[in-house]
Chains A and B, each alone.
Chain A
Amino acid sequence: MAVKTVIEAIREGMDEEMARDESVFLIGEDVGNRGGVFLATDGLYKKYGALRVIDSPLAESCIVGVAIGAAVNGMRPIAEIQFADFIAPAMNQIIEEAARFCYRTAGDFNLPMVIRAPWGGGVHGALYHSQSIEATFGHIPGLKVVVPGTPADAKGLLKAAVRDPDPVLYLEHKRTYRLVKGDVPTGDHVVPIGKADVKREGKDLTLIAYGLMLTYCLEAAETLAAEGVSAEVLDLRTIKPIDQAAIVATAKKTGKVLVVHEDNRFAGIAAEVMAIIMENAFDTLDAPVMRLTGPDVPAMPFNQVLEEAFMPNVDKILAKARELAAY
């Protein structure tokens, strides 16, 4: 075990996978000599050279389309979209192509490729450096979507994504990069895609979250404990395929569930989690399932007052959790 930040864990995961398998390579804007704008790929260009750490032209469709072709021809690309907000030009390649290759060939083709994208707010990133995209892409069959919130999960899910035979959208929350530190197991630490994780056991209510909101929920759970409320915290870790069994199990256990995300509210991941609970654990509920989410505005404003108004935080989570506990 060693304590690492999320960004260190991601870098280490890529480094180890590149060392293990020569078919793994990186492509994205500024991933080469610069080491990425967040330094996620720092040192890898020097170590693996220009054929395996490729500075792409400033064109997202190119990054993903080229990665698809390389995956067709035996490689395992890790494509980086510099900010999740800039993924839109690549959506045709991701949705109409990558997500459909296996289905449209009845399994003849598959694409072992990872698309990494820093997402999320709370970094003064304004409209175009703060977005959440997990619900948009979680809706697309053929894609897998992972959202690690801790260094150990960041590394373990990165490795799982690289080894997966299908396209994986790997979302790394920018605010967690250096904020969240934690133990990362040494050795070949792989976290299976599709498995949620109970990050804190509790019996009175459950907070379900992922990404940065996981950290906030764990903090809120501490405060709730001091107030005599035992909160369980379930980290989804994977959006698609979602861990239905873990969601149902915690709902049945505590009977009270609050889902937290910073993505827009309408048709967000919380809506899906709530539907899963209603379909499978309705009889065991002691309160309506609640959600705390970002609002339905196009994106997060630059101004700090407005940014804070947009983002869920520990205080907002506590207020909603207290309401749920008192129900």
Chain B
Amino acid sequence: MALKTTEVEAKGGPSRHRSLGLSDEQALKIYEVMRLARAVDERMWLINRQGRAPFVISCQGQEGAQVGTAATLRPGYDWVAPYYRDAGVVLWFGMTARDQMLSFFARREDPNSGGRQMPGHFGSRKLHIVTGGSPVATQLLHAAGVALASKQRKEDAVTAVYFGEGSTSQGDTHEAMNFAAIHKLAVVFVCENNGYAISVPQSSQMAIANVADRAAGYGFPGVVVDGNDVLACYEVARRAVERARRGEGPTLIEVKTYRFTAHSSDDDDKRYRKAEEVAIWRQKDPILRYAGYLRDAGTLTDQREADITDRVTVQVDEATEYAEQAPDPTPDDLTTFVYKQELPS
């Protein structure tokens, strides 16, 4: 077992996806989900800035890391415990643009929470997406518990858990990695390192360059990967998922990436990072980069791009229209589901 952090370099070549075992169709599906995640997100900002919805929190810039890793899992069989930026992960796992918009407008029909939680707090029992709250890093322990249950029942389901690099400062991160290592649980830890925890840069968060280096301290592999290279993310995640499914234990994947937007619609990122820095990273946009690759590979044609754009636009338009007009919860909804079994009044 290689305990040293491995730097996975982006490898060129026009048939990279095929050498990873991805058909053209699968490669395009990954692209389409990335595009959909971005489009839903952009629409939310637009609506927020028009004053039609109070809050948005973004996935922009991290879609490659999210979809590239999630695409190695079996939706509905494997589990994910996402964090609040993981629109790309949950869309891959079967959530729809409509579900996201219902959450964004906090409607009664919002399948995540019935309009109770802020946007980005995903959850669906049916889709095997563990509900998340706002305290960070708690979900790492939930993922370990989900994986423990799989092991107890002798099932080979894999649980992937997502978190930012800021979350790695929390004790729950340590406790979860330690527990998953002891029991060789089928957990894939995916740290989406976007360089900032709201305003705090990585250099104030930790004294090391790579979060993945910590994996050695728990006794499992840590891998650093370019999070804006979706196929590189896919490659390392697939290896981690296969290892987990074989019962060999967890892996920590650190995807180095960047968020294009402020932390949320209530944040002003000009207070802590330069516009030039953002501009540099926008040049590395994982969607543009992947589109370029797919074009070079002959997989993405003008016609296919146009079809994808049409489908994405239709979904976002339909989702927005539906969700904006969908009914709010009623005041009576305030007191339901405190318990699964309602208490006698």
Contacts and interface: CB of A to CB of B under 8 A. Distances in A.
Classify the interface of chain A: helix, strand, loop or mixed: mixed
Interface stretch (B139-147, B190-198, B258-266): B139-147
Contact of B123 (A59, A61, A75, A105): A105
A73 B159 CA distance: 11
Interface in A137-180: 141-142, 144, 164-166
A105 B122 CA distance: 9
Q: How large is the interface on A (under 10, 10 to 19, 20 to 34, 35 or more residues)?
A: 35 or more
Contacts of A69: 81, 130, 141-149
Given A52-B152, A75-B152, A101-B131, A65 B145 contact: yes
Nearest to A65: B141
Contacts of A25: 152
B179 interface: yes
Contact of A142 (B125, B171, B338): B338
B144 A65 contact: yes
Interface in B111-148: 111-114, 116-117, 121, 123-126, 130-131, 133, 135, 138, 140-148
Interface residues of B, number: 48
B111 A108 contact: yes
A102 B144 contact: no
A104 B125 CA distance: 13
Contacts of B130: 69, 72
B112 A105 contact: yes
Contact of A109 (B117, B123, B150, B344): B123
B12 to A, nearest CB: 40
Name, among B113, B147, B175, the residue most crowded by chain A CB atoms within 10 Å (CB to CB).
B175
Interface of B: 79, 81, 111-114, 116-117, 121, 123-126, 130-131, 133, 135, 138, 140-153, 171-172, 175-176, 178-179, 182, 333, 336-341, 343-344
B111 A102 contact: no
A109 B127 CA distance: 12
A32 to B, nearest CB: 13
A92 B138 CA distance: 8
Contacts of B131: 101, 104-105, 108-109
Interface of A: 25, 51-52, 54, 56-57, 59, 61-62, 64-75, 77, 89, 92-93, 96-97, 100-110, 141-142, 144, 164-166, 194, 241
B114 A70 contact: no
6 contacts: A61-B171, A69-B145, A72-B142, A100-B133, A102-B337, A110-B340
A127 B178 CA distance: 30
Given A73-B79, A97-B142, A102-B338, 5 more contacts: A61-B171, A62-B176, A69-B81, A97-B133, A104-B121
B179 A62 contact: yes
For B125, B147, B150, B337, the residue with the greatest tally of chain A CB atoms inside 10 Å of its CB is B337
A57 B144 CA distance: 13
Contact of A70 (B133, B149, B178, B344): B149
